[in-house]
Structure 1
Amino acid sequence: MTTAVTRRPTVSARVTTPTTPTTPDLAPARGVFTATVYMNTHDDNFGGYQPGHPLAAATRPDGSPLRLVFHTSTRIRTHEAAASAAFDVGNHARADDHGQTWPSDIRPVSVGDVIKVTSPDHWILHLSVDPTGFTPVPEPATLTALTGSRATSSR
């Protein structure tokens, strides 16, 4: 014996999803990040950066500012990732994407220094080097020249 069963009507729909990511954090902008490292020249620079600490831009041997360049990629797509790459260059672990290395007469990048990162869309962020990463800080107001023993100090 069979029994007739009535089914409720159903509706089907096709849902399409984009094949490429559309959110900014998944699809990096094309271009480059640039990073300039400001060395903290305060007597207590390894205690961390504090607003008002004097900073000096890292420079090339000819005195021009050292601007590190990193092309956007799956690895470099945020200000923090570019700052981390600049930290690596500043500690002689690698070169930037244009082959620039850290000058031998400047101490390595360390806690208390500040890295200015400009993204491909021209957003600028200043990041303090902390023991476990980076913290955004206001644009430093006290810039000085990088000189003599301060340039090679490694405490």
Structure 2
Amino acid sequence: MYANPAATNRFTVNAFLNNDQFACVDGYRLEDTVTEVTTPTNQPLPFVFNATDDHAAADALRTLSHSEPGDEPGQKWPAEIRSLNIGDVVQVTAPDGTVTHLAVDTVGYIEIETVGAAARPAVHPHTHA
């Protein structure tokens, strides 16, 4: 029996918007706080993509956040939430369960060193209008 390539390359990506007004210029800094992109009921909003690696999965979410079609299951970026930008953070969970936190940079991403499971010093849920 052969493994389904689509199932083995499924990455889950969660987005966190930077609250610092200068993050789009300065990029992510460890002292920045971020707001998790959530559902209207403030539940985490994971996106699922078939990708070759964590950076490709992050790219897929960044593209989706700019009003592109939905992820693999059809989940779309919430219209009332701004798109991903420099300084924002994505949490990528690989098919093997490895979690990587990447900060959006001017070109690509910078991996964020984390302590334990925390990628950010403070996370606030996004409040939907």
Would you say same fold, with TM above 0.5? yes
Structure 2: unaligned runs, 5 residues or longer: 114-118
- Answer yes or no: is the 8 Å Cα contact 1:33–1:117 preserved in 2: yes
Higher-RCO chain (CA-CA 8 Å, sequence separation at least 6): 2
Could you say which residue in structure 1 is the equivalent of 2:124?
144
- Answer yes or no: is the 8 Å Cα contact 1:69–1:97 preserved in 2: yes
* Amino-acid identity (%): 31
Q: Distance in 1 between matches of 2:59 and 2:100?
A: 13
2:86 paired with 1:111: yes
What is the count of residue pairs matched by the alignment? 119
TM-score by length of 2: 0.84
Structure 1: unaligned runs, 5 residues or longer: 1-26
Deviation at 1:90, TM superposition (A): 1.1
Q: Distance in 2 between matches of 1:137 and 1:39?
A: 15
Deviation at 1:55, TM superposition (A): 0.4
TM-score by length of 1: 0.71
Q: Distance in 1 between matches of 2:65 and 2:54?
A: 16
- Answer yes or no: is the 8 Å Cα contact 1:28–1:77 preserved in 2: no
Q: Once superposed, which parts of structure 1, at least 4 consecutive aligned residues long, lie more than 3 Å away?
A: none
